[in-house]
Structure 1
């Protein structure tokens, strides 16, 4: 089979802009002509092997960044947005791929517009008076921040490295190091019996944690406050670059970045990546080694995307009992539904019925890519009698070619039958799915009142 030609003009242009070179200088460094570079940047010609090698040789560039990761995300997101019933005409996949490759800014603008439309429609449907005096629609701050991390591959290099430096400074004994760090800044750390996880009184210089929380949660909350106190300038600089459209989005993103710092300090990049390889990605062993929770470990595994030192490309997702996705990230080609629940055939939903157990699944998406999937419930008690339990399940997975590096795949036949899963019913192309909720947008329906199968229509 012939190798697929690599058209990555937008990414190549982004690399040149980031380095700060003109087309003429960039072409000279790559050893090619200016017209040839111009043709590649405009996707009129594929990127040649010699150019890929020159990028690595001249600039130390990680050539895997030229892959279709961002393009696939944009295509998946646009397909789901175009599956909205308000859009009656199907858009060919070829057009979506061209848009993602040649006009990614336009694609993101379309997604922002669609998100604003959905937000307005949902508010109107619920008779919400919060549309505002002007009646203008703005993106949901929560979705805007989620997209920021999504398109950064959930890896923020400057914050990750700052957290790694902090962890090295306070030493291997994290609890003792944090105690010294707070004491050096005349901050008193106390605990109290209350449902709130953390409260920092800046005037009294007192950090209060909940006795109901686990040790891993309290470590994480302390590191979160460290980020807010000691890394404010770094967080602000990162937020300035993101250019969020509202103060609410910026505030949510600040919390997200502080959480990112906390996870990266709790599990420093190089040490964690090495331990992950040594333990073959055993979540429980990693949790004990780094004093973290299973969810924190699984999430951290999905962020190991540092240029030149990448880990296994995992997807990570957390769902609630209603099947709603509350956290999502994919360093793989697998994408998640932006709206509504996840595919019911996915094993993450069964995790609620088997608490304390890891569930394994060999799954195949409609594009033919096969995955090894791991799921487990991570429900947490409220810490006292009568307090509600937070019920969630997490899923972690990778393409099946990486499965031999995962301890949980031991004993599985990696060439066995794979269960068909999808993303969202409206964009899933599977014809005979017994769990289909709504028909796919791009398939004509055949409805015969005298003939009924599992569904009231045939595709």
Structure 2
């Protein structure tokens, strides 16, 4: 496969504007002509290797920032939005979507925001229709989607909070005992910690923070650090929320919980020590969990956040699903995107993890765009703490593009060079264009299909 050309016009313009340079001065410092720079800034030409080196050497730019991750995410989101039946007669070619995402990202985001507002208005009308007795189906819209998009477009990395958590966990430049540090930090605020026989994982009543005795040690540590974030980093969290400009107070409240959780995970696994350990263990989840006193799920999620400029780790995607196939957590620092609506692809190994408790399942997968991935899945079911309490059953999947697979221990002994070892997977049936998938649940909304009552193949219809 030929190397992918790098078009980064928006990033070039943003860099030049940040530095306060004219096109002429910027071109001179990059060692290119003014017309050539103009063509690159407008994505008429790819960014050359010489320009990439000049950006790094002359301006100290982290060249990984030139990646097309945001553009690919927006393309995926626009494709799914355009699969809405309201756009039944509109089918922009993929090249146009990529052009819009690369050259006019603000316009693309405005389109996605407009479509989301349309869906919310439509769903509210449907809800009202049902309340009036006309029986129209509806879906209750929650602020989770707005908060999820906030983290999604931040690459799940919040720099100020990540640094604050690292300073807390490494007060002398070395990783300390976070449980002791958390206990002392809460004590200075007049709060004591009590391990009690309570149903809630964490509750705060007056000056006492109660943690469930039934929760694993890693969960107890995480919940203590969550409370530390709320009482010691509230000003920083509120400032971050102000910058995000959420549309409702409930969205802001959900995001505040998310940012406190982010601090807790970043303090339990501080960036620099965790990145070094991840690289030395080749991202072995079990070893990392043991080294940092964390759970497998916490480690997998933290690996997907290692996107600090100048010190980025392997770009991973992370997802958690329940037994119904519903995605309950998701993030992608790779080109792989997840369905916003409905379940995920049934061919993905994350769904098989429920059948093999405590085992890691490895899968080499290829998406319809031809990108190949290494996927590692495992169940993370959680006991309710008693015979009568329900068990929470989840499965997680961590993965990276195959170009990074050699840095991951789970790729050992797999035949990465054989195309036949890669399982074809998709995002969701509604936007997947594979026409020979035996697990397809519905035709793709962007394609027509026909039905022949005298013929039956893998599917009861033929995609045309």
Q: Report the equivalent of 1:58.
A: 58
Partner of 2:301, secondary structure, is: helix
In 2, are the aligned partners of 1:123 and 1:130 still within 8 Å (CA)?
no
Shift in Å, 1:32: 4.6
Q: Show the counterpart of 1:297.
A: 299
Q: Distance in 2 between matches of 1:365 and 1:441?
A: 18
CA–CA distance in 2 between the matches of 1:407 and 1:295?
17
Q: 1:71 is matched with which residue?
A: 71
Which residue in 1 is equivalent to 2:430? 426
- Identify which range, 149-158 or 48-57, moves more after superposition: 48-57
Are 1:119 and 2:120 an aligned pair?
yes
Q: How far apart in 2 are the matches of 1:248 and 1:161? A: 26
Equivalent residues of 1:374, 1:395 under 8 A apart: yes
The 2-side partners of 1:438 and 1:353 are apart by 25
1:172 partnered with 2:173: no
Q: Does structure 1 residue 30 correspond to structure 2 residue 30?
A: yes
Does residue 452 of structure 1 match 2:452? no
Matched, 1:189 2:190: no
Taking the aligned partners of 2:2 and 2:216, their CA distance within structure 1 comes to 54
Over aligned residue pairs, what C-alpha RMSD do you find?
2.4
For residues 321 and 20 of structure 1, do their structure 2 counterparts lie closer, same or farther at Cα, with a shift above 3 Å needed? farther
Q: Deviations over 1:431-456 (max 9, x none)?
A: 10001111113333232121111212
Counterpart contact for 1:115–1:139, Cα < 8 Å? no
Count of residues paired in the alignment: 452
CA contact (8 A) 2:156 2:331 kept: yes
Find the aligned partners of 1:36 and 1:55 in 2 and give their Cα distance.
15
Deviates more, 1:231-240 or 1:370-379: 231-240
- The 1:310/1:185 distance shift into structure 2, 3 A limit, reads same
- 8 Å contact from structure 1 (residues 112, 139) kept in 2: no
Distance 1:283-1:3 versus aligned 2 partners, 3 A rule: closer
Question: Following superposition of structure 1 onto structure 2, how do residues 388-407 of structure 1 map, counting pairs within 5 Å?
Answer: 388-407=390-409
Distance between the aligned counterparts of 1:37 and 1:404, measured in 2? 36
Aligned to 2:211: 209
How far did residue 140 of structure 1 move? 4.5
Is 1:109–2:113 an aligned residue pair? no
Instruction: Give distance in 2, aligned partners of 1:81 and 1:62.
Output: 32
Deviation of the 1:155 alpha carbon:
0.8
Select which of 387, 390, 397 maps to 2:389: 387
| Paired residue secondary structure (1:144) | helix
In structure 2, relative to structure 1, the CA distance for the partners of 1:120 and 1:324 (3 Å cut) is: farther
Q: 2:183, 2:192 within 8 Å by CA — same for their partners in 1?
A: no
- The verdict on how the C-alpha distance between 1:23 and 1:194 changes in structure 2, with shifts beyond 3 A counting, is farther
Q: d(CA) in 2 for partners of 1:126 and 1:195? A: 34
Q: Does 1:278 align with 2:280?
A: yes
The 2-side partners of 1:159 and 1:19 are apart by 25
Moved more, 33-42 or 6-15: 33-42
CA distance in 1, matches of 2:336, 2:390: 33
Deviation sequence 1:409-446 (CA, Å, 0-9, x none)? 22222234211100011211211000111111333323
Residues 116 and 140, structure 1, Cα contact 8 Å, conserved in 2: no
**Structure 2: runs of 5 or more not aligned:** 133-139
- What is the TM-score of this pair, normalised by structure 1? 0.92
Deviations 1:373-404 (A, max 9, x none): 11111111121231111111100011223222
Structure 1 unaligned segments of length 5 or more: list them: 132-137
Judging changes above 3 Å, is the alpha-carbon distance between structure 1 residues 241 and 25 closer, same or farther for their aligned structure 2 residues? farther
User: Structure 1 residues 167, 400: closer, same or farther in 2, change over 3 A?
Assistant: same
Deviation, structure 1 residue 25: 5.1
Deviation at 1:113, TM superposition (A): 1.9
> What secondary structure is seen at the aligned counterpart in 2 of 1:349?
helix
* Corresponding residue number in structure 1 for 2:95: 94
